[in-house]
């Protein structure tokens, strides 16, 4: 009996030790080295870094592994509630660089109130994680999800899609397939969602739930994770939303739906500010009149030599440069003076566009991601997309659907339609059947601004409708996600959401 009791005690002690070891985090944090940042771009404050190993294919471990680098901005409170993973958007933005540069603000001031560590990482295809770079591939500016202002009429734009965009798309797709034939199928949102679950598991925090803040494309990632692992959803905040259905099946149809309203709001605010603060306002007698005059000016540019150069030589004339920058600067209210001043200059002296250097455009703002992988945007979004066609004419209906949604769709649509030629599919496709009446362990909070040029409020409402118990926080803030300057109330609600 004593022997049995002794053996039982030893066995219990061993089991306790094993369970204790199993509950210890396997992520080993260390002080970050910033050698890979350019001089003058080193992050503020100290950060912790770590590396984890994940399988390339979670269903076939024999395919091998890859590493994901993590960066952490630590909580400022003694009673830490856990960790929040973040994704700043794209696809193609670097979550690692986002936390490296903005981590202190994220932890203390902006969203989380100091109660959480903030962890960033690069999704597959981006920067440090299987960077999707196809070599010397030149992709026209129009493919990036940041532009748009209809110019030239539907026939002109469609002719461009049928010739330049289609031919360029085939070339890019072929070169990317050759360059990434070994790993291209392991890039996509479902793989990154599983990587996030691995991070959560290795953090070994008490509730084993994902706490997450995603912006723009980051909301797609959040929706996919919640549909795949609804029982692992903790505090999930999806900010500036894209509708998953449209992202997967219709080349992000409708994403610039609110851009026209945002642009009109800019002109209205300019007029109300008066000529002393906004010289553009002196050209009109009312906000409506200013809106009409600006749109009339762009319509008169339709037959300009700059547009002809754009269509015939596949180059951006100065007129197209102006419109591209207007659309991009709508992202942040801090850039609105750039738009108003530029419009005033070209409308009062349009001949200036014919000068050798045209009007000097204000310096464009950078991003956290640096060289993230030249083709990360398409490497991720096209691998996720179900859109494939053999004939360019099969894209016409979708092309018209894009233009019907927004006057800013002329640049967004051609780039997203290039996915129709993509030669990769993610080895694990997004399962849209799971996105029906999803009951998550904890309710998701969606947030969107009323004047968002690329992630419309309607997408937040539609996305929320798929997840039981979720709610939508609407702000009057201008811009997209972390670019919003005036959304104080939105940030305050987010802090409360993560705190309680």
Task: Give the CA distances from residue 192 to residues 58, 166, 467, in Å, rounded to whole numbers and listed in that order.
Answer: 11, 29, 21
**What would the mean pLDDT of 385-389 be, rounded to a whole number?**
95
Residue 305 has pLDDT above 70, yes or no: no
DSSP string, 251-277: TTTTTTTTHHHHHHHHHHHHHHH-TTT
User: Which of 86, 145, 95, 146 has its CA nearest to residue 118?
Assistant: 86
What is the CA 73 to chain-centroid distance, rounded? 21
Whether 343 shows a pLDDT value over 70: the answer reads yes
Q: Is the pLDDT of residue 56 over 70?
A: yes
Backbone angles phi, psi at 39, to 5 degrees: -60, 135
| Two structure tokens written together for 419 | 């996915």
DSSP conformation class of 166:
H
Which residues neighbour 479 within 8 Å (Cβ) at sequence distance 6 or greater?
A: 330, 331, 332, 333, 449, 451, 452, 453, 485
Structure tokens at 111: 């969203």
Residue 364's pLDDT band (boundaries 50, 70, 90)? very low
- Give the phi and the psi of residue 9 in degrees, each rounded to 5: -65, -45
123 contact partners, CB below 8 Å, separation of at least 6: 87, 90, 91, 95, 129, 189, 192, 195, 221, 380
Using 50, 70 and 90 to split pLDDT, how confident is the model at 23?
A: low
Domains and CATH numbers, the chain: 30-131+187-251+434-499 (3.40.50.1820), 141-183+253-421 (no CATH)
What predicted TM-score, i.e. pTM, was given to this entire model?
A: 0.86
């Amino acid at each position: 009996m004593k022997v049995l009791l002794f053996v039982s005690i030893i066995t219990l002690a061993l089991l306790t030790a094993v369970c204790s070891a199993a509950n210890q985090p396997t992520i080993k944090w260390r002080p970050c080295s910033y050698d890979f940042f350019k001089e003058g771009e080193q992050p503020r404050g100290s950060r912790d870094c770590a590396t984890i190993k994940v399988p390339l294919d979670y269903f076939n471990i024999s395919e091998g592994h890859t590493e994901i680098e993590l960066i952490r901005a630590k909580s400022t409170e003694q009673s830490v509630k856990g960790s929040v993973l973040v994704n700043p958007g794209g696809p193609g933005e670097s979550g690692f660089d986002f936390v490296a540069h903005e981590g202190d603000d994220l932890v203390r001031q902006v969203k989380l109130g100091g109660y959480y560590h903030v962890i960033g990482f690069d999704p597959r295809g981006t920067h440090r994680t299987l960077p999707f770079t196809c070599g010397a591939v030149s992709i026209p500016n129009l493919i990036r999800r940041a532009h748009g202002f209809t110019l030239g009429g539907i026939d002109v734009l469609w002719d461009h899609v049928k010739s330049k965009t289609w031919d360029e798309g085939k070339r890019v797709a072929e070169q990317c397939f050759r360059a990434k034939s070994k790993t291209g199928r392991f890039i996509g949102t479902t793989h990154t969602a599983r990587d996030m679950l691995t991070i959560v598991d290795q953090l070994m925090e008490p509730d084993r739930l994902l706490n997450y803040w995603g912006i723009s494309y980051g909301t797609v990632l959040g929706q996919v994770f919640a549909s795949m692992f609804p029982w692992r959803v903790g505090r999930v905040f999806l900010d500036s939303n894209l509708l998953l259905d449209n992202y997967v099946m219709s080349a992000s149809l409708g994403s610039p739906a609110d851009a026209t309203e945002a642009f009109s709001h800019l002109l209205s605010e300019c007029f109300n500010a008066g000529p002393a603060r906004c010289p553009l306002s002196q050209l009109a007698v009312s906000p409506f009149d200013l809106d009409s005059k600006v749109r009339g000016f762009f319509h008169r540019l339709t037959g300009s030599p700059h547009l002809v150069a754009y269509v015939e030589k596949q180059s951006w004339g100065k007129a197209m440069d102006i419109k591209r920058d207007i659309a991009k600067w709508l992202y942040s209210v801090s850039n609105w003076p750039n738009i108003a001043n530029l419009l005033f200059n070209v409308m009062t002296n349009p001949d200036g566009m014919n000068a050798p250097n045209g009007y000097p455009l204000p310096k464009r703002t950078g991003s956290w991601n640096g060289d993230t992988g030249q083709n990360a945007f398409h490497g991720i979004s096209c691998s996720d997309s179900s859109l494939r066609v053999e004939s360019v004419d099969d894209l016409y209906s979708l092309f018209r659907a894009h233009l019907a949604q927004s006057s800013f769709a002329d640049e967004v649509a051609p780039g997203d339609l290039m996915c129709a030629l993509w030669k990769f599919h993610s080895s694990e496709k997004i399962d849209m059947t799971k996105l029906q009446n999803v009951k998550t362990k904890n309710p998701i909070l969606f947030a969107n601004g009323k004047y968002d040029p690329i992630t419309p409020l309607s997408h937040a409402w539609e996305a929320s409708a798929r997840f039981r118990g979720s709610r939508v926080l609407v702000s009057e803030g201008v811009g997209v996600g972390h670019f919003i300057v005036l959304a104080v109330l939105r940030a305050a609600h987010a802090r409360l959401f993560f705190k309680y």
